[in-house]
Structure 1
C-alpha cells in the first residue's frame, strides 16, 4: 500500500496520531513528522471530532450519567466497610496472568455453539497483546489437518511461530502440537520452555474469555437465527441441511467475524486487577512491543520445513463452503432461478436456504 493508503487504513482503525507515526516507522520504515501527518489527514478530509454523535451519547455526557467502577468500589467501602470486608474474605483469589511479550504464548481453542448447525469455529489469540492470530469458521473444527492449515497459514503470514502454544486436551490440536515441536526442534531458543502445553479449558483463559466477546458481538445472533429455523421445522440436523446452512450462511458468518476481529484488534484494552499485562490496542502491542518495554518472541521458520508441514494439512476452500456435490447442485438451482450470488443479508439468505431446501427435497 502507498503511504496515503496506510495513513487512511490506520486512521480508520482508530489509531491516534502518535500510534500511526509509530506504526509507519516500525512496520513500514516510513518516517514523517507529526506536522506532516496532520497535513495529510487534513488533505484526505479525515477528522476525528467532526460528524454527528448519537443522542444517547450526548445525553450521557451532558448529564454525567457515567460512573467509573473504581468510584463505586470506593463508595461501597466507605458506606459499608463491614460488608465489604466479609465479601473480601470469601472472594476467590485468582492467579495473576503473566506473559512476557508477543508470540511468547498463544492460546488455541474451538467454539462449538454453532456446531449443531454444521459450523465449527476455531481461533487463536496471542496472550501478551490479546491480538487475534486467526479466527475461522468452517465445516469442521474437529479435523486436526484443518486446524493445522489455519496454523500454517498464520505462520506464513507473520513469518514464524510462537515460543509456546497452549490448547485443550483434544484430538483436533494434535497436528499443531506435532508441527510446533517439529519447527522448534533445532532452534536452541529457550530450551527449558516447552513448545506445546496441554491443559484444562479453565486454564486457557485468554481464548475462553474471548469467546464471550464473540458470542456477544456475533455468535448469539446466529444461534438465535438457526434455532428459530429449527423451531419452525425447517432444520432437522441432517447432513444435507447442514450443508445448506454452510452454503447459505458460512461466508456471511466469516465476514462478520472478520469485522469483529478487526474491531477487537484496534480497540483499547483497559488494565485488569488479575493481570500485569500492559494496556493498549492489541494491534499496537503485538506489532510494536518495544513501546511497552517488551520483546518479540517470534521464532523464524525455514521455508522447507513450512512446506513439509503444509503437506500434512487440509485447507478449506472459502469459495466452496460445503460438500462439493451439494455446492454444485445448489449453484445449478440458483442459476435456474436467476440468483447470481448468496445475499449478504442474513434474512435474505434464509429465503435462499428455504428455496434450496424445498427444491432438493423434491429432487431427492
Structure 2
C-alpha cells in the first residue's frame, strides 16, 4: 500500500465511496487501493492504510474481528431472520446479517450455529441436486433480461424484474397491482436507464405483450442514438374489491421496500465461486460499474438525448 505524506481528502468527499465499497464487502486494502485509483486527486491528497482504518472506525464501520460475534450473540438476530428467510443457507445468512443487521461475522460461526440449531438444513444442502445450464453474454450492458413473476397474481400483486446477466446485477425488481401493463413495464425500464445515464445494447424477454413497450423503446432509442415467500392465501378475499384495494395499499409499499433491500443485498454480495462459470466472479455492482477491472467489455450507450421523446412517444402509443 503506497505511503503518503499529503493531506487526507475531505471526509465528505470520500465517505460515500467508502460506504459503497464497504457495502460491497471490500476489505481495507481493497478500499484504499480503489480510493487511490478512482476517487481521490493523488496530486493533492493521499491516504494510507492506518489513516483509513481510523476514518472507517470513526464512521462506525467495524470489521468481523472487531465485532467479535459468537453463536450466542447472533441468536436473537438469527431467530428474526429465520422467520423471513427459513431456507437461507450459510452464504445468504452471512449476507443478510451484514446488510440487514449490520453484523459482520465469519463463516465458521454461522456454520456452527447451523450445525447446532438447523442440522436438517445442513443435510438438505448436501443433497447436490443442482442442474446446470449455460448462458453467454459478451460483456456488461450487452443485454438486459426482463420477465414477470406470476405467483402473487392470485393476491392481486404482480412482480417484474430486469437483470444485467453478465454482472448478475438486478436493475429493477418492482411490485404493483399488475405486471401485464406494457406502459407500467416500460416505465421500469425507462426509469432505470434514466437513473444510469446510459442504455444497454439489446433487451431479451419472452414474447409476452407486456414487454413490447420495452422492445419498441429500445429499438427507437437505438435508432435515434427468489422469492420463495408468499402471502397466506386465507388472509383476504381476492374477489372482494374493497379488501383487494386495502390489501394492495398496505402491502405494496412494504413489499417494495423488501424488494429494494433484496436488490441492494444481492447486487453487493459476491456469488459463490464456480469453476464452470466463465463470466467474471465478484460483486455484481463492482462488475457492472467497473467492468475494466474484470477484463470485461462495456456496451453501454451513453447518448440519451431522445429519452424524453421515447418516453412520451411509447407511453402515448400504449394508452
Q: Same fold (TM over 0.5)?
A: yes
1:50 aligns with 2:63: no
- State the aligned residue count: 258
Q: Among 73, 95, 101, which residue is 2:139 paired with? A: 101
Offset from partner CA, 1:44-80 (integer Å, 9 cap, x none): 34221222233485384599999x9xxx89xx9xxxx
Gap change, CA 1:235 and 1:257, over 3 Å in 2 = same
Q: C-alpha separation between the residues in 2 aligned to 1:272 and 1:123?
A: 24
Query: What corresponds to 1:4 in structure 2?
Result: 15
Decide whether the 8 Å contact of 2:23 with 2:268 is kept in 1.
Answer: no
Offset of residue 146 of structure 1 = 0.6
Q: C-alpha separation between the residues in 1 aligned to 2:112 and 2:218?
A: 50
After alignment, is 249-258 or 40-49 more displaced?
Answer: 40-49
Offset of residue 18 of structure 1 = 4.3
Offset from partner CA, 1:95-123 (integer Å, 9 cap, x none): 53222221012110111111111111111
1:161 aligns with 2:199: yes
Query: What corresponds to 1:309 in structure 2?
Result: 310
Q: Which has the higher contact order (CA 8 A, sep 6+)?
A: 1
Q: C-alpha separation between the residues in 1 aligned to 2:155 and 2:114?
A: 46
Unmatched segments (≥5 aa) in structure 2: 1-11, 76-107
Decide whether the 8 Å contact of 1:132 with 1:265 is kept in 2.
Answer: yes
Query: What corresponds to 2:285 in structure 1?
Result: 283
1:214 aligns with 2:224: no
Give the secondary structure class of the aligned counterpart of 2:172.
strand
Give the secondary structure class of the aligned counterpart of 2:251.
helix
Gap change, CA 1:109 and 1:26, over 3 Å in 2 = farther
Q: C-alpha separation between the residues in 2 aligned to 1:27 and 1:143?
A: 41
Offset from partner CA, 1:212-246 (integer Å, 9 cap, x none): x232xxxx1xx243x131xxxx4142333221111
Q: C-alpha separation between the residues in 1 aligned to 2:158 and 2:34?
A: 34
Offset from partner CA, 1:225-284 (integer Å, 9 cap, x none): 3x131xxxx414233322111111110000011111111111111233553112111111
Query: What corresponds to 2:31 in structure 1?
Result: 20
Q: TM-score, normalising length from structure 1?
A: 0.62
Decide whether the 8 Å contact of 1:271 with 1:277 is kept in 2.
Answer: no
Offset of residue 20 of structure 1 = 3.1
Q: C-alpha separation between the residues in 1 aligned to 2:114 and 2:251?
A: 43
Offset of residue 139 of structure 1 = 1.6
Gap change, CA 1:261 and 1:62, over 3 Å in 2 = closer
Q: C-alpha separation between the residues in 2 aligned to 1:246 and 1:311?
A: 28
Query: What corresponds to 1:144 in structure 2?
Result: 182
Gap change, CA 1:146 and 1:103, over 3 Å in 2 = same
**Equivalent residue runs for 1:107-256 within 5 Å:** 107-185=145-223, 187=225, 213-215=226-228, 220=229, 223-225=230-232, 227-229=233-235, 234-256=236-258
Q: C-alpha separation between the residues in 2 aligned to 1:22 and 1:290?
A: 15
Q: TM-score, normalising length from structure 2?
A: 0.70
Q: Answer with 1 or 2: which has the greater Rg.
A: 1
Query: What corresponds to 1:328 in structure 2?
Result: none
Q: C-alpha separation between the residues in 1 aligned to 2:219 and 2:141?
A: 15
Gap change, CA 1:243 and 1:6, over 3 Å in 2 = same
1:40 aligns with 2:55: yes
Decide whether the 8 Å contact of 2:71 with 2:113 is kept in 1.
Answer: no
Gap change, CA 1:53 and 1:237, over 3 Å in 2 = farther
After alignment, is 178-187 or 254-263 more displaced?
Answer: 178-187
Decide whether the 8 Å contact of 1:126 with 1:132 is kept in 2.
Answer: yes
Q: C-alpha separation between the residues in 2 aligned to 1:10 and 1:260?
A: 18
Q: C-alpha separation between the residues in 2 aligned to 1:22 and 1:106?
A: 31
